[in-house]
Amino acid sequence: MVSTLDDTKRLSIARKLAEMRSVQDFLITNEKRFITSVSDQKVRERFQSMLEDDQKNLGVLDTAIVQYGVRAEPSETVNQMIQKAEEMMSGSQLSLFEKVFQHEALKHQQVMTGLLIHKAAQKVGADVEAAITPINTVNFENRAHQEQLKGVLEVLGVRELTGQEADQGLWARVQDAVAALSGVAGSVMTQSSDKSDMNLQDVIRMDHQKVNVLFGEIANSDDPRKIEEYFGQLYKDLMVHAEAEEQVVYPAVRPFYGDSDVQELYDEQAQMKTMLDQIKATNPGTQGFKDAVNRLKDIVMDHVRQEESTMFTAIRNNCSSEQSEQLATEFKAAKDRLQQQMSASMK
Ligand SMILES: [Fe+2]
Ligand SMILES: [Fe+2]
């Protein structure tokens, strides 16, 4: 098996995710500037609520990036585009209307990038779709923001051109457009509305589900190249998940879950890691490869069942929801660190 496990298509999606994150960051900077420079209270309130959504969605994007498990930097083109836009937005040449006009164009770009990632994921694999599900909320909210920005542009544009106020009823119309969008997006919104404060059990379960999808993809494929790609992802996901549990979760649960149960989890993961390395050195086109993956699957699923039954119960009984959410944050941060180390060591 080749030593670099990064598949080109997966890497391209990772790059788009990184670019979406950079643009999201820039949108936030702009909105903060608009809030301090706009005197119209109604317009300011729009930007305020948009800013709150966008800050929450930056967190959602971070979660999706860690969950996706492949790292890339934004392209130079996007970096330069943001730099140019920053010069325009912070300079004094453009009127407020023109700046909001640029902002709306960036929102549009963000919506299209999000949709593109969503469509591309459907082509690459079910595990990719599972990992990036949270960004559907970001897409829908950005789409709703576009409608609100159209309203803001109308108000500011009429004022700049005529010195008069736009027609009454404008905000009601914008609200209707947003409501129509939320209607379409309703199920997605509610499904992931609390993504920003997931507890430890939620984030661990999400990883377990993704691993399960990857085992399924390997079992259902006869194409050695696809099998290699899926295993490459499985290898990274399992290594990072196990290591992050050993750094954050197991030490935290040991006092109430007990030494012997925690030791069992450590031992199983040691065995898992050895098997992963053995399989990695095997030819993915052989029956031996699939047999070894099946043995690994049995061990991983046993291990997962123990974590999701007795360990989760122990966490529920001994940690407050704040503590469990705090552990979730630390667990995600550990995964983030480990993924970056892993992609650096593969270069
Ligand atoms: Fe584990
Ligand atoms: Fe686990």
Q: What is the pLDDT of residues 278-330, one digit of tens each?
A: 999 999 999 999 999 999 999 999 999 999 999 999 999 999 999 999 999 99
Residue 201 C-alpha to ligand 2 middle, in angstroms? Answer: 9
pTM, two decimal places: 0.81
Residue 309 C-alpha to ligand 1 middle, in angstroms? Answer: 12
Segment 107-127 mean pLDDT: 93
- Relative to the alpha carbon of 211, which ligand is closest? 2
Residue 195 C-alpha to ligand 2 middle, in angstroms? Answer: 19
> What is the overall mean pLDDT for the chain?
90
- Relative to the alpha carbon of 264, which ligand is closest? 1
Which domains occur in the chain, in start order? 8-195 (1.20.1260.10), 200-345 (1.20.120)
Span 52-101, pLDDT tens digits: 999 999 999 998 999 999 989 999 999 999 999 999 999 999 999 999 99
- Relative to the alpha carbon of 268, which ligand is closest? 1
Tallying the residues shown for the chain, one arrives at 347
Can you tell me the distance from the alpha carbon of 198 to that of 134, in angstroms, rounded to the nearest whole number?
12
Residue 96 C-alpha to ligand 1 middle, in angstroms? Answer: 53
Segment 9-31 mean pLDDT: 96
- Structure token pair of residue 25: 């960051």
- Relative to the alpha carbon of 212, which ligand is closest? 2
- DSSP letter for each residue of 226-264: HHHHHHHHHHHHHHHHHHHIIIIIHHHHHHHH-HHHHHH
Cβ neighbour number for residue 298 with a 10 Å cutoff: 9
Is the model's pLDDT at 3 over the cut of 90? no
Residue 250 C-alpha to ligand 1 middle, in angstroms? Answer: 9
Q: What percent of the chain has pLDDT over 90?
A: 75
Segment 202-216 mean pLDDT: 93
Residue 69 C-alpha to ligand 2 middle, in angstroms? Answer: 15
Q: Which residue has the tokens 């119309």?
A: 173
Q: What is the DSSP-derived secondary structure letter of residue 69?
A: -
Can you tell me the distance from the alpha carbon of 83 to that of 74, in angstroms, rounded to the nearest whole number?
13
Can you tell me the distance from the alpha carbon of 311 to that of 238, in angstroms, rounded to the nearest whole number?
18
Residue 323 C-alpha to ligand 2 middle, in angstroms? Answer: 18
Residue 278 C-alpha to ligand 1 middle, in angstroms? Answer: 19
Which residue, 71, 78, 33, is CA-closest to 341?
A: 71
More confident residue, 185 or 131: 131
Residue 47 C-alpha to ligand 2 middle, in angstroms? Answer: 40
> Which H/E stretch holds residue 267?
helix 259-280
Residue 223 C-alpha to ligand 1 middle, in angstroms? Answer: 29
Residue 251 C-alpha to ligand 1 middle, in angstroms? Answer: 12
pLDDT grade for 179, boundaries at 50, 70 and 90: confident
Exposure string for 184-205, b = 16+ CB within 10 A, e = fewer: ebeebbeebeebbebbbbebbb
pLDDT grade for 347, boundaries at 50, 70 and 90: low
